Amino acid sequence: MKTLYSWTKQLKQWRRIAPSMAHLKTFNNLYRSSKPKPDQEIISSPKAPERHQLIYKLVQKHLRNLLLETNPCQTQALNCRRSKTGKRPKVALIMAVISLTSAMGHRFYNQPKLDVGTIAPTTIRAPRDAAVEDPKTREAKQKAARRGLIPVLMVDPAVNHHIYQDLQQKIDQINHSRRIAGQFPFTSVLSTTTQIYLRSSSESEWEAILATLKNKSEKGQSANQLPASAALSPVNSPQLQQAINELKAYRRINPEGLPTLINTISQVRQRYAQALANLSSNLAEQEEISPNLSFLKLAEADWRKTQAGIPEALERILTQGIAPGLPLALKQQTVRIQVKNLVPDTAQPIVTQLIVSVLKPNLIEDAEQTKLQAEQAAQQVKREIVEIRKGEIIVERHQKITQREFVLLDHFKLSRREVNWWALIGCGVLVSGGVGFFCWVERRFHPGLRQRDHILILLLALSTPVLVSFGVNYSSLPAVGLLVGSFYGSALGLTTVGLLTLGLPIGMENILWDHLLANAAGAIVGSIMAGRLRSREELALLGIGVGLTEGAVYLTLNLILSAAAGSIWLAVLQEAAIYSLTGVAWSVVALGISPYLEQLFDLLTPIRLAELANPNRPLLKRLAEEAPGTFQHTLFVATLAEAAAKALDCNVELVRTGTLYHDIGKLHDPQGFIENQMGGPNKHDQINDPYFSAAIIKKHVTEGVVMARRYRLPKAIQSFIPEHQGTMQIAYFYHQAQQEAKTPVDESFFRYAGPIPQSRETGIVMLADSCEAALRSLKDATYEEALAMVNKILKARWQDNQLVDSGLTRREMSQIAEIFVQVWQQFHHKRIAYPKAATKG
């Protein structure tokens, strides 16, 4: 602090004696002489350097004040710069508010005072006869006609074919089962009812019948009394009694034929049991066994008639069509009506059940006919003409004005159209609030935007209200979201889209909410995702996602808002598809103009940085071919710098790309740099002039800047070329000049012109470039030795004041040194020594 006190005291004395620039030079020499000596530790000693930097900043402040007092011209210039930089943001904000208000407040320029929904102050009469067309009402009716139309249906042949196949499969199963069961009726001596019973009765009943027939003595038994064995049967029914009676009657008539009949009945029962087993195995659903079982009970003649009538009845039903959602009861009633005269009465219930089981909806919408009919219905909506006679009342006093009355008022120029200044001012206030919110988001998420960036965002934002004012429903919101999101990040893109979506309905006429919300949804998806993408291909795929989002939102909104959503969704689907295509089209527009905007406004997006880092770029390809040593040096420096930038949370893409171009100036004389000499003669040995050699070395910076401008590299990339060298000393040739010269050597000639690094990214590249050759030269060094060497190099750059404007802190220098050594270890890891025998071919 004594040193600071002495310097401050000296400054006060100079102020009193009207100092000159020579005094400032003397003070600068005094400061340089008080700096720590080279042998003092800068990297590992935390207290002394920080105190030294604090003193240096305070002295700089005094120097600045002194310079302003002693040089009025410079003071005036500085004040002028301050006023310009202070006014420039204010002027830009005012221009943004005015332009956005002018574009978005379109409806307030010629707004009717007596509009729809307002109250008439007086009774207004028609000054003359008139017949005025109302296009707005007609358009609303046409829209309702298109969307409220019941869709045209047609029969789907594929569904019919499937139904016929299903029915035929079931009939084939029934025929197969009937063939297994055998011919029915199987005898003529018993009634059909008895034959059905005997074939399907249980085994206990059949045994009871046989036991009864074996009892030849019928004494003491009445004709209707069963024997004890039959009475004990688990099933006792009138059908059992009837079967016994008919068999006894047959025995009385033909005793010799009864055994043959009994044998036939037993065989029929066995085949019937096989048929039942076949049905059970073929039918997946148990409830379908019952109707198919009933078909086995039909006589052969009835089954032939039934089999012929089923397809005809089904064809009639399918021709009429089955709509989706048709109730089961209505299906059953329809089938009963159709089969009434086609199948026998005994088969109608089971045929009805069979046909209902195979029926499916076979009506689908005919999109072309529906569209044609919708357009015809819309065209049939007549022009809406509002007629009135002279002297008739248009609107009563204190009555709310309707659309019909407004059309008449506007026709007679009685709607009192004028500029709504208060509404326009209110719109301006809202726009100001939106611009203020955007500025807050900018400072929070993306500080440091240039004036040209604000102009670009303003132009993109203005494109949307301008298109809407021309009646374009497919606004440019998706393109705005994609461009702002990819250029400046998701936060600013989302903010811009959100503010436009909220602001457009305030001052714009004829805003359709379904169109606006669909556009906004696609734009939001685009702005959120665009900031995360790293290639044009990904942006192209994102454009498809934007289009699908717009179409889905548009379809959903129309189905929700429509009263007949179920019947019109296919009609709206076509409009949604068109909307999806417009979303993709806007994405294509954004993708197409983005390279031109990046060039025109000198934008550095991750996508552009990735494209510039492509080794097939002309300048990088030329560097690899003409200066291969420099190119290999560049790749290693890029690896070091990228690792450090990632650890310090810097712009990794910018560091990678800037490093690839930082030494392109060496193309002006590749052999002037040792890495390109490939073991050949050193050009500087032949020159033998340290001044000329230093000029060649320094020229790679100036020539690099010229090449970068010629190839139109972004300014942020160009800054890496001079700043990676800063104002460092060309030490080798400086010491050579000192040894050869007899007079003092001007050190400034052997220093680069600068400027010193102005950002953390260029500062990291300077340090990586300084350490690359030293690290590459290490072979068998330990980690500690490599770290000590890197710390020594970084200390030299810190002491030489090369990093005072970079934003890098002394604490980060230690971290950078460790990262460099870790990367060096990865490149120079030890390998297994192969035996000589393994290397022989």
- Residue 809: DSSP 8-state: -
Identify whether 8 is part of a domain. yes
Say what the pLDDT of residue 484 is.
92
Place of tokens 């022009």: 383
Per-residue model confidence as pLDDT tens digits over 504-530: 888 777 677 778 888 888 889 989 988
* Residue ending a domain, choose from 578, 603, 628: 603
Q: Which residues contact 117 (CB under 8 A, 6 or more apart)?
A: 400, 401
How many domains does the chain contain in total? Answer: 3
Per-residue model confidence as pLDDT tens digits over 430-484: 999 999 999 999 988 888 788 889 899 999 999 988 888 887 777 888 999 999 9
SS3 364: strand
Mean pLDDT highest for which of 10-24, 293-307, 315-329?
Answer: 315-329
| Residue 719 or 137, more confident | 719
Nearest to 183 by CA among 288, 275, 90, 98: 275
- 715 and 568 within one domain: no
| Residue 53 or 583, more confident | 583
* Residue ending a domain, choose from 548, 568, 603: 603
- 580 and 466 within one domain: yes
Query: Residue 116: is its pLDDT beyond 60?
Result: yes
Q: What is the signed CA dihedral for 768, 770, 773, 778, rounded to 10 degrees? A: -80
- 670 and 714 within one domain: yes
Query: Residue 288: is its pLDDT beyond 80?
Result: no
Identify whether 835 is part of a domain. no
* Radius of gyration (C-alpha) of the chain in whole angstroms: 49
Alpha-helical regions (H) of 489-564:
490-507, 513-530, 536-561
Confidence tier at 562 by pLDDT (50, 70, 90) = low
Least confident span in 338-342, 546-550, 739-743: 739-743
Identify whether 171 is part of a domain. no
Q: ∠ CA 293-299-304 to the nearest 5 degrees?
A: 95
Q: What sign does the dihedral 412-414-415-421 (CA atoms) show?
A: positive
Say what the pLDDT of residue 556 is.
82
Q: Which two tokens stand for residue 660?
A: 């690839």
- Residue 382: DSSP 8-state: P
> Which long-range contacts link 268-277 to residues 24+ away (Cβ below 8 Å)?
268/181, 268/182, 268/186, 268/198, 268/199, 269/198, 269/199, 269/206, 271/180, 271/181, 271/182, 272/181, 272/182, 272/199, 272/200, 272/296, 274/180, 274/181, 275/177, 275/178, 275/180, 275/181, 276/177
- 631 and 543 within one domain: no
- Alpha carbons 461 and 500: distance in angstroms, whole number: 7
Query: Residue 825: is its pLDDT beyond 60?
Result: yes
Q: Which two tokens stand for residue 423?
A: 């509404």
Say what the pLDDT of residue 101 is.
86
Query: Residue 106: is its pLDDT beyond 70?
Result: yes
Say what the pLDDT of residue 829 is.
55
Confidence tier at 246 by pLDDT (50, 70, 90) = confident
- 620 and 549 within one domain: no
Mean pLDDT highest for which of 244-248, 579-583, 639-643?
Answer: 639-643
Q: What sign does the dihedral 249-252-258-262 (CA atoms) show?
A: positive
SS3 130: strand
Mean pLDDT for 637-641 is 92
Say what the pLDDT of residue 65 is.
47
Structural domain harbouring 775: 609-827
Cα distances from 530 to residues 494, 605, 657, 716, in angstroms, run 10, 11, 20, 22
Confidence tier at 40 by pLDDT (50, 70, 90) = very low
Confidence tier at 233 by pLDDT (50, 70, 90) = very low
Confidence tier at 757 by pLDDT (50, 70, 90) = very high
Confidence tier at 710 by pLDDT (50, 70, 90) = very high
Nearest to 361 by CA among 331, 338, 335, 334: 331
Identify whether 770 is part of a domain. yes
Say what the pLDDT of residue 496 is.
93
* Residue ending a domain, choose from 26, 41, 70: 70
- 814 and 765 within one domain: yes
Say what the pLDDT of residue 234 is.
44
- 676 and 744 within one domain: yes
Confidence tier at 713 by pLDDT (50, 70, 90) = very high
Backbone dihedral angles phi then psi of residue 23, each to the nearest 5 degrees: -65, -40
Say what the pLDDT of residue 33 is.
43
Share of the chain above pLDDT 70, in %: 78
- Alpha carbons 608 and 612: distance in angstroms, whole number: 6
Question: Are the beta carbons of 468 and 508 closer than 8 angstroms?
Answer: yes
pTM confidence score: 0.58
| Residue 151 or 496, more confident | 496
Confidence tier at 146 by pLDDT (50, 70, 90) = low
Per-residue model confidence as pLDDT tens digits over 578-634: 878 888 888 889 888 988 998 899 888 888 888 899 889 989 999 989 888 889 889
Q: Which residues pair with residue 124 across a beta bridge?
A: 395
- Alpha carbons 637 and 651: distance in angstroms, whole number: 16
Q: How many Cα atoms are found within 13 Å in the side-chain-facing hemisphere of 293?
A: 15
- 585 and 450 within one domain: yes
Say what the pLDDT of residue 685 is.
74
Identify whether 822 is part of a domain. yes
Per-residue model confidence as pLDDT tens digits over 658-680: 999 998 988 888 887 877 777 77
Mean pLDDT for 91-115 is 81
User: DSSP of 84-125, one letter per residue?
Assistant: HHHHHHHHHHHHHHHHHHHHHTGGGTTEESS-TTPBPSS-EE
- Alpha carbons 619 and 725: distance in angstroms, whole number: 20
Identify whether 736 is part of a domain. yes
Query: Residue 257: is its pLDDT beyond 70?
Result: yes
CATH number for position 495: 1.10.1760
CATH number for position 760: 1.10.3210
Query: Residue 565: is its pLDDT beyond 50?
Result: no
Mean pLDDT for 714-739 is 88
Identify whether 250 is part of a domain. no
Say what the pLDDT of residue 767 is.
92
Q: Which two tokens stand for residue 501?
A: 């979506």
Backbone dihedral angles phi then psi of residue 364, each to the nearest 5 degrees: -125, 165
The packing angle between helices 157-181 and 348-358, to 10°, is 140
- 663 and 758 within one domain: yes
Question: Are the beta carbons of 465 and 103 closer than 8 angstroms?
Answer: yes
- Alpha carbons 493 and 104: distance in angstroms, whole number: 19
- 622 and 523 within one domain: no
- 661 and 524 within one domain: no
Query: Residue 142: is its pLDDT beyond 50?
Result: yes
Per-residue model confidence as pLDDT tens digits over 408-432: 887 888 877 878 788 888 888 999 9
Query: Residue 492: is its pLDDT beyond 70?
Result: yes
Identify whether 118 is part of a domain. no
Share of the chain above pLDDT 90, in %: 12
- 626 and 577 within one domain: no
Nearest to 241 by CA among 188, 301, 198: 198
